[in-house]
Structure 1
Amino acid sequence: MTEQEIKDLVTRQRKYFQTGATLPVSVRVDALKRLYGVISGCEKEIHTALKRDLGKSGFESYMCETGLVLEEISYMLKHIHRFAREKNVRTPLAQFHSRSFKKPSPYGVTLIMSPWNYPFMLTLSPLVDALAAGNTAVVKPSAYSPHTSDVILQILSQCFDPEYVAVVTGGRAENTCLLREHFDYIFFTGSQSVGKEVMRNAAEHLTPVTLELGGKSPCIVDKSADIKLAARRIVFGKYLNCGQTCVAPDYIYCHRSVKDKLIKEVQKQIQKQYGKQPLRNPNYGKIINEKHFNRLLGLIDKNKTVHGGDSDRHALRIEPTVLDNVTFADAVMQEEIFGPIMPILIFDSMDEVIHNINAMPHPLALYLFTSDKAAAKKVTSRCGFGGGCINDTIIHLATTEMGFGGFGESGMGSYHGKVGFDTFSHYKSIVDKKTWIDLPMRYQPYRKLHEKMIRFFLK
């Protein structure tokens, strides 16, 4: 799509939004029901595309992508009438007689830019929230997952006219053109470097943004943890989608006294979950492209590899890999891994853990395996992170009852469920003042009696 075509598309969406066509809740409900029906009917095509782009199995595609989108739509359909209502709030006595209320209103024309690692879910979930709140949307999926982008284009073209919801495919040139346009809200999921560029462009129009980024999410294993269960859940979270998950445990921070036991259990779980030959497992995914494949191979130190490390360049697959005796100075600890490589570091005290984590950029997620409630309270209170789990990984993002988002370097803003509706809504604060009474105390000329009344009301 050319720069002029993108400009014309945004103009058409703005004109459409200004007609008020997206405001009635009934229209939003119809849009979400239509989207639900088309997604359900295209499940096979969606899963085939995800298999081609990322090697995902049908089970994993439904569990982590299609199913989560359908759940988000169902949740919105159940609650949208309540979310969209005006909310009365208390009116101060000084404003007698008035009604004060907050009115949720859509921002207008929104831009949703999504990544390649969960290309369907991370495109459609924020779109569901944007539509529920009454916005129009321009959707820009990643060029790195072209088959899923094609299916998204097919689905959304079938559901909506482009002045309501439009898909722009392509790469960096299209991204650049989109970011030059004036949107009313931008929702971006991706890397920190591109997130900075999004925010820089948004500042030109003072456009509010949500940035869902990433970072090196720690997974702390305390000496009191159930090691067998921890290993099982860590292996699931780390190697899901071949490690290409923004909230995957990036590294394991393990108490010195249980490290060897944890490594043995992790090795057992890798074999149990992925088989003796993971590179031949049809349900094990692949690295998105050769560029990232080569980057990941460069992070594997053969001298510190205690499990895995082999790869298949033709299939773009890397075995679930475990690195031992890793320090914060190693290459694998200098960037977000975003692949099936698990470095294990050791600690001696929880104060040491808290100090070192807080000395690094704020991660998107933090995981803690412990049976010590005091330790859990201490870590979750004193460490800065977006969200996380105690005695599990990943699952905190799979609930519509809590917002999901980053903090500091891992992003800003959040979404899912009610929080997602709020993200794409501006709450207007309105006072409806009645006309049958008009207290004179605020008007000039000011009098002593008026001052006493003001002081009485505003204490």
Structure 2
Amino acid sequence: MEYPSLSEIDKIYALQQKNTAEIKQLPASKREQLLRKLLTKIKEAENEIQAALYQDFHKSALESTITEILAVEMELKHIIKNIGKWTKDKSVGWSAMFTNVKAYLHYEPKGHVLIITPWNYPFQLPLVHLAACIAAGNTAILKLSEFSPHTNRIVKKILQEVFPEDHVAVLEGEVKETTHLLSLRFDHIHFTGSPAVGKIIMEAASKNLTDITLELGGKSPAVLDRNINVRRVVQNLIWAKFVNAGQTCIAPDYVLVPRQLKSEIEQVFREELREAFGRDAINSPDYARIINKKQFDRLVEALTDAKHLGAQVISGGATDEKELYIEPTVIGQVAMTNSLMTEEIFGPIFPIVYYSQIDEAIKFINDREKPLALYVFSNDGIFNKHVIRYTSAGSTCINDALIQIMHPKLPFGGVNNSGIGQSTGWYGFRAFSHERAVADAKGFPLSKMFWFPYSERTHKFVQWIRKIFG
């Protein structure tokens, strides 16, 4: 595949730099018009989008609609509904000490933005983040993953029908092109990907003190209590884990289960996987494929190594290299040194880890990096609060999975190794905006009370302030 030359990238960058000041002045109404046009173009191209995602992932039309198209449409509608309110100055309230000061926050665009997106949701992630970026009033270079070429083409086509290149530009490329982009000065960089690459992004951004949002990943656990409806929870976990063939950053990475549920949960997993995908999931019209051979080989190697180290395959385990197919797999007794337990799996392999007491499970979680998501399944509110209180995660969902990212009023983001900053909805708009503090003094300036030369009067005024407000 031919990617843009570095000189072509520089030309696009210069065009946007020149245009950034003008784009910053676009009123909320104009930004809203652009987002409405984008929404219309997406609706018109739905069949093309579904076809592209099938070519890249063997993804069913319905799963493409649920996980990619609908997610973007919901985000766009939420932003369109609220952009007028979000862009207005917001009062921070009255202060007795500053009775003559009108204090408020003014939301101004950060300016020129670089958005780098991954391959696992190649339609949803670029457009969800771009929508917030445009709502905030920025210019943007959108760098897509080179691993989803069919979806990239339709993303580029749609965006070119809505935005001129000096407002939004779509680029593809590999390490060379991305490295060059990172050498340029942006006002904000938004990156979605692995913690390892996130560190590279952060280091590059630090050279220009560029603000960043990092959406990373990690090993997101699911914690089960003993009082659950096992079948309902297993169905929930199967959907959350095996949608998009496990290639979801907030998919449950492993599940912590009370030992007394071992026999029951293993049997229910076998039954429900057969119910979901049939006796041979390779023939299921609802089951996606691994994105490419590199990821397929990584996952097969991890599974093979786990079995050599004594792991037990509870269900699944079949693979087909030609199809880039890995059967939905549940596995137990995985060695802690195996990559399935040391690295984010990002595929359709689901380890079960058994525990005796909840504090053992909590220690297991806390001995690892802070996850992007944590799932708790219990009918006991005290149990749920205990897990939340003694762990840390970017988000938590109780008695369901993945839905927290769909809630329009909740932020999406990680903590430490799983990410920095927040996205989606109001939080996405805020991430791409600068919250500018404004203090508008009316009439008598307070600073006059501190005017030189300092005197006894100044001293008494300071003492009065300390007594009343200190």
Once the two structures are superposed, residues 117-170 of structure 1 have per-residue CA deviations (whole angstroms, 9 ceiling, x without a partner) of: 001111100000101111111101100001111111111111100110000112
CA deviation after TM superposition for structure 1 residue 436, in Å? 5.6
The residue aligned with 1:26 is 29
The residue aligned with 2:215 is 212
Q: Could you tell me whether the CA contact under 8 Å between 1:22 and 1:28 is conserved in 2?
A: no
Q: Could you tell me whether the CA contact under 8 Å between 1:441 and 1:451 is conserved in 2?
A: no
- Cα distance in 2 for partners of 1:235, 1:340 equals 10
Residue number among 313, 317, 321 corresponding to 1:309 in the alignment:
317
What SS does the aligned partner of 2:302 have?
Answer: coil
Letter in 1 for 2:57: L
Q: Could you tell me whether the CA contact under 8 Å between 1:226 and 1:371 is conserved in 2?
A: no
The residue aligned with 2:382 is 374
Once the two structures are superposed, residues 69-97 of structure 1 have per-residue CA deviations (whole angstroms, 9 ceiling, x without a partner) of: 01111001111111000011234444442
The residue aligned with 2:397 is 389
What SS does the aligned partner of 1:354 have?
Answer: helix
The residue aligned with 1:266 is 269
- Cα distance in 1 for partners of 2:108, 2:404 equals 28
Task: Report matched runs for 1:276-315 at 5 Å.
Answer: 276-300=279-303, 301-302=306-307, 304-315=312-323
The residue aligned with 2:351 is 343
Residue 175 (1) aligns with residue 200 (2): no
The residue aligned with 1:56 is 59
For normalisation by structure 1, the TM-score amounts to 0.97
- Cα 1:77–1:331 change in 2 (3 A) is closer
What SS does the aligned partner of 1:414 have?
Answer: coil
Residue number among 200, 204, 211 corresponding to 1:201 in the alignment:
204
Letter in 2 for 1:315: E
- Cα distance in 2 for partners of 1:227, 1:327 equals 25
The answer to which of 7-16 and 254-263 deviates more is 7-16
- Cα 1:247–1:290 change in 2 (3 A) is same
For normalisation by structure 2, the TM-score amounts to 0.95
Q: Could you tell me whether the CA contact under 8 Å between 1:221 and 1:252 is conserved in 2?
A: yes
Residue number among 349, 362, 368 corresponding to 1:360 in the alignment:
368
Residue 443 (1) aligns with residue 451 (2): yes
Letter in 2 for 1:124: L
The residue aligned with 1:158 is 161
Where in structure 1 are there 5+ consecutive unaligned residues?
A: none
Q: Could you tell me whether the CA contact under 8 Å between 2:122 and 2:152 is conserved in 1?
A: yes
How many percent of aligned residue pairs carry the same amino acid? 37
The residue aligned with 1:104 is 107
CA deviation after TM superposition for structure 1 residue 393, in Å? 1.2
The answer to which of 342-351 and 430-439 deviates more is 430-439
CA deviation after TM superposition for structure 1 residue 252, in Å? 1.1
Letter in 1 for 2:277: Y
Count of residue correspondences = 459
- Cα distance in 2 for partners of 1:67, 1:202 equals 32
Task: Report matched runs for 1:238-257 at 5 Å.
Answer: 238-257=241-260
Letter in 1 for 2:56: D
Once the two structures are superposed, residues 407-426 of structure 1 have per-residue CA deviations (whole angstroms, 9 ceiling, x without a partner) of: 11111111111111111111
Letter in 1 for 2:235: R
The residue aligned with 1:400 is 408
Once the two structures are superposed, residues 158-215 of structure 1 have per-residue CA deviations (whole angstroms, 9 ceiling, x without a partner) of: 1100110000112222111111110100000011111111111111110011111111
The residue aligned with 2:278 is 275
